[in-house]
Amino acid sequence: MTIRSLLVANRGEIAVRIVQAARALGIRTVQAHSAADRDMLAVKLADAAVEIGPPSAMKSYLNIDAVLKAALEAGVDAVHPGYGFLSENAAFAEAVEKAGLVFIGPSAEAIRLLGDKVEARKVAQRAGVPTVPGSDGRVESLDAARALVESIGFPVMIKAAAGGGGRGIRIAETMEDFERHFPQASAEALAAFGDGGLYLEKVIARARHVEVQILGDGKDAIHCFERECSLQRRRQKVWEEAPSQALSEAVRKALCDSAVALAREVGYRGAGTVEYLYDDIEGRFYFIEVNTRIQVEHPVTEMITGIDLVQEMIRIAGGAKLSVRQEDVKVRGHAIECRINAEDPAKGFMPAPGTVTRLIVPEGEGIRFDTMLYEGYTVPPFYDSLLGKLIVHAETREACLARLGQALDGLVIEGLATTIPLHAALARDAAVAGGAVHTRFLEQWLETGLSTPPATLKEIA
């Protein structure tokens, strides 16, 4: 089907990104928005806009009936869910298709299968992808879980079967911890996801978080190499880069090939990400999950490959085959992305919504800023704190870090606190420059103070 118009069922910087990608393809856009988002940039850029509900996400961006009503009344051909909200909701994908519209993403069946962490693990095993030692499926009782933990050893991670985004996870260091956390985790998972099912995984010490970007058209699949996302706070990614400096070429090939094998196992359609833990000590990687949507950090892959992932997923949803062959996907240089959030690093990352009184965006070769901001815009307090993403590209990682530092110095957002000072410090940190990072690095770094001047974030805030 030729897509001539689409509804953007999301907000913030990803909504702007989708509008721009669709425009480049000659596609008309209609921006869905809550009452709190009437003035957001995507509304101003889209060809049309429609209000779908009050500020509460549950009554607007997560309201399937409201989004579908808006799409049908707007007369669009397709719906792009972006990331978050309804992007990995199989019921929403089904509802869109039943309404005679195109869902720009994988099939509802694939979302449902891969969205269940236990079932996704089974798919990975069928595809020959290594998985973290742990339960083969859901653990049905505390007694069964206790026996399994005794066999795999501590520390162990208790994970919600229907979880995602780092939520619904508890780590137990001892059996006493485990027996306390297990029922709490189940109750938390039930409240957050409507599913109290749990599974267990061995904790990999000093693990790196590495993920592979995949593209599939339902019949064939390719990879666009990997990204490293090890710098995290509270299991939320803060800084991403591509390619990973930790991998040998042999490991890189095996890792990327395994992601393609998994994609082909389910006949994957659209853009997706296969996430792994990489054991830096043993040189082994382990599958953890699949994100069946575009990722926040997709720009670093675009910068090193030259492939517009959002345009590609729109084309595929319209029935096109992959426009690029695996042998044509090459890595060029290095790219780093910093997530700029409305949070105050000097005050425990306290949320800091407010009005942008001054905005200066750095420009130049290899610099990109994906954002929803403009001077005079008031950031609402109802949603995720992400304001934008500063992405830089250069021929080497060393040059990329230097360019990043300069770009951060040139990025000015006044009127509210942001995480720019945190990234400026990280860009000049000796350990970060040396690549000696892991998934617990940033939290330890924040607890002990910076390894290079300035000594505290308050000095650069």
CA neighbor of 137 nearest in space, from 123, 150, 151: 123
Helices 90-98 and 108-115 sit at what angle, rounded to 10 degrees? 170
- For strands 78-80 and 5-8, give the pairing: parallel
Sign of CA dihedral 431, 303, 287, 118: positive
Alpha helices for 239-321 (secondary structure H) = 249-265, 298-305, 309-317
Q: Phi/psi class of residue 194: alpha, beta or left (left: φ > 0; alpha: ψ in -120 to 50)?
A: left
Q: Phi/psi class of residue 14: alpha, beta or left (left: φ > 0; alpha: ψ in -120 to 50)?
A: alpha
| SS3 annotation, 439-451 | CCHHHHHHHHCCC
* Catalytic choice (11, 121, 208, 293): 293
Torsion of CA 400, 237, 294, 193, to 10 degrees: 180
> What tokens appear for 72 in the block?
């049908």
Whether 227 is a known active-site residue: answer no
The residues assigned a catalytic role are 293
